Amino acid sequence: MIKPHGADTLNPLLITDVAQRDRLIAEATALPSLLLSSAAAANTVMLGGGYFTPLCGFMNVADALSVAEKMHTVDGLFWPVPVLNLSNDISGIQGASRIALRDPNVDGEPVIAIMDVDAIEEFSAQQIETITEQVYGTLDSSHPGVAVFQAQGRQCVSGSIQVLNLSYFETEFAGTFQTAVEIRANIAARGWQKIVAFQTRNPMHLAHEELCRIAMERLGADGIAIHMLLGKLKAGDIPAPVRDACIRKMVDLYFPENSVLVSGYGFDMLFAGPREAVLHALFRQNMGATHLIVGRDHAGVGDFYGPFDAQDIFDQIPAGALDIEIFAADHTAWSRKLNKVVMMREAPDHEMSDYVILSGTRVREMLGEGIALPPEVARPEVARILMDHYQSEAG
């Protein structure tokens, strides 16, 4: 199986020994505590599950700036996006060497991890701008990722952590949420050697389904890991349980047995386009995938990135930085001429009128009005789940 990034074995920071975890939970009651941002809590979950191997915790200012500007830490570890614990208020932990980190996304704000504090530093306004521009490619506050990042604060709390739980993902998404450790074990149990990962934050329409099938066939893959984001998205996006139900229905009905692994991960979407695409590849390598499908405007939002910027960045990173390979895909849609789903760049004789394409807005309108989506766009069983969701929202 493919090796984890920067290590021979995974480095999950979740404490799984019950006695040790109980001791740490008891210790945490006497420690100064810091309420995390949602983004830092999501980073904690990714560190806990081994997705961010080989990191041992949160980056300091020097590493964050190095990663933003050069895509590697001060010590030379390739990494595309800073992994930070930023705060607006450090009054409760000043001078502390060991602190409890509290989860803002769970009622009662329980302790999610314990941190050995290496440093508490303050980013300058210019340094925050530098990181923003390098990672997101823009300083425009209308970009949802920029707005969230710049609201987190300028106090940088760095150090190694011991993770005590995986937030709400373990309970709310039982059976779907899996750590990198669990996915590697699942892949090994299936006997797969070549695995394609498909990143999604949306329900999968027919074009997505066919793209997965195309990638599997062309790569000669043993299976595909449909890996859905379960953390925070942006207003108006479809809730994770609805996406989960859609994907599982599609897999159950339209894919061969033991060809698809459906799972999810606990992370807040960054909408960072090319940089986030590289991060997606890195942690998919950590979970055991050998290939990642990178499509048109992968991890993008609005018009902030070019349609293939997230593919082009993989030609710019150092050779050997990652072992995982990408499957570069174009937009896929139903061809009226060929009576099947195709990648648009592979149909040069087509005009736009030769495709069946509905905008996201039109799809939502149709579903909300109880109008069935055409079979060239969505499987009827998937469309029904979405229609029930939109009608319940409207009612």
- Could you report how far apart the first and last alpha carbons of the chain are, in Å? 49
Secondary structure of residue 155 in the 3-state scheme = strand
> Do 86 and 153 touch, CB atoms closer than 8 A?
yes
Which one of 21, 154, 202, 213 is the catalytic residue? Answer: 202
201 in catalytic set = yes
Q: Residue 295: which of 233, 214, 220, 195 has the closest Cα?
A: 214
- Helix 240-254 / helix 380-394 crossing angle, nearest 10 deg: 160
Who's near 280: CB < 8 A, 6+ residues apart? 199, 292, 294, 298, 299
> Could you give the C-alpha distances from 136 to 80, 81, 212, 369, in angstroms and in order?
11, 10, 27, 36
The encoded tokens of residue 288 equal: 């055991």
Q: Which amino acid is at 223?
A: G
286 in catalytic set = no
Dihedral sign for Cα atoms in the order 76, 81, 83, 86: positive
Residue carrying the six token digits 């450090």: 90
Cα–Cα dist 43/119, whole Å: 18
Which one of 21, 190, 201, 384 is the catalytic residue? Answer: 201
Q: Which amino acid is at 368?
A: G
Cα–Cα dist 351/355, whole Å: 8
Active site residues: 201-202
